[in-house]
Chains A and B, each alone.
Chain A
Amino acid sequence: MMFGVATAAILVGMMLALVRAFAGPTLYDRVLAASSFGTKTVILIGLMGYLNGRPDFLDIAVLYALLNFASTIAILKFFRHRTLSVSLDRPGTDAPIFEERDTA
C-alpha cells in the first residue's frame, strides 16, 4: 500500500515533468524535464521491484543511477561545441558572454 502511494506520487511527478518536456519553451527546459524524468524513473523502477515482490532486481535502478547523466552530458557537449569529439577542456565555439554583470 505504501509503495502504491509512493508510486502514484512518482507517476504524477512524471506526468508533470512530461508537460514541461512537451511545452518547452527552451530546449534547456526540455533537457531539464528529461533529466528529472530520469531520476523519477530510477525511483519508480525501485518501487516497482517492491510491488512485484522482487526487490532484489534493483540492478536496473543502479544502472540508471550510474548512466542517466550520460545523455545530459552529451547534450551539453552538443550545445557547447557542436561536436562530440573535442575535449571539454578546450574553449568552445562561443565567445564568453559572461562579463562583469554577474551580480544583480
Chain B
Amino acid sequence: MKMLLTGFDLLLALTLLWLAWQLLRSTDIFKAIIFFICFGLLMSLAWVRMHAPDVALAEAAIGTGLTGPLFLAALRRIERKAGKNMMSEPAGNGEETGSRWKARNREMSPLLWTVTALTCCLAGLLIWTVLIIPRPLPGLADQVAGSLAESGVNNPVTAVLLNFRGYDTLLEVMVLLLGAITVWSITHAPFPPRVPDTSPVQKAAVRLLLPLICLIGGYLVWQGAYQTGGAFQGGAVLSAALVLLLISDFLWLPGMRSLPLRLGLTLGPLVFVLLAGFGILVEKTLLRLPVEYAGPLLLFLEAACGLSIGLTLAAFFAGGRPASDLRETPYSGEAKGKGPAES
C-alpha cells in the first residue's frame, strides 16, 4: 500500500516535471499549450494527493478549464499569419513564423549559458534549504479549527477565505475586476463573423450543456459553505457557460450593451464593500459579521461574487470591451466582418 502510493506520487511528480520541461522546450507553441492543459490536469491530481480538494477543484475549473481555452484563443489571434502551416506538422521550427517574435538561433550563447547555470544554482540552493528546514510547524490549523464555529460556515477553507481573511479576498476580487477593466481598456472584443456558421451539432451541444453547467456552477457556489466549492470555483464553472456562448458566435453577442455588463462585473465587489461597511455600522469593525447571521450573509456574498467572477472570467475570454462600448459599433467600419481599426 505504502509503496504503491509512493510509486504513484513519484510517477506523478516525474510526469509533472517532464511535462513542464516539454511545455517550455517544445518548438511548437500549440503543442506547448496542449502540454499545459495536461499539466493542469496532473496538478489537480497532485492537489488531491495533498488533501486539498478545494484547490484541486479551483485548478480543474480555473487553472485548466479556463486558462487552456484562453491560451488557445490567444494563440489563434497572435499566430494568424502562421496559421497556414498549423494543420500539418510545422517544418523545423514553426514556432515563430510570421509573428513578430522571430526564432532566435538555437545555439547556446554565453548569456544563455550563464542564465542556465544561475537557475541550476538557484534550484540547488532552494532544494538544499528545504531539506535542512526542520519539520513543518503546525501553522495556523489550530486557530482555524478553534474559530470555525463563529465563522458561519463549515468548510475551513471557505471560512478562512471569506471570514478570517476576508480582506485578502476582497482585494483579490478587486484584482479580478482590475483585470477586466484592463482588458477592456486595451482593446475591443474581436467581432464575430456577420453570418456565423455555427454547425447544428455545436448548437445542440451548447443547448444541452448550458443549463447543466449553470446548475453545477450554482451548486458549487452553494456547496462552498459545507464542503469543497465556493465562489471562485462556482464562478469559474458559470463562466464556462458564457464562454460556450461566446465560442458559438451568437448574433446578439456583438450588440451587447456595456452598462449591464459593467453592473454584473461590479456586483460582487460592491456587495463585498457594502458588507464591509455594514460591519463598521453594526459591529464597529470592518468586515466583521454578526455571528448569528454570518452563514446567510456569507452565502449571499458568495452568490454575488460567483456571478461577478463568472462574468469576469468570461470577459477575459472575450478579450476586450464589448463592441457597443463608447460609441463603437460592430459593422460600421470596414467591410467583411472586420472591426473598425483601433488606434
Does chain A bind chain B?
A: no
Which residues of A does B touch, CB under 8 Å?
A: none
- B interface residues, Cβ below 8 angstroms from A: none
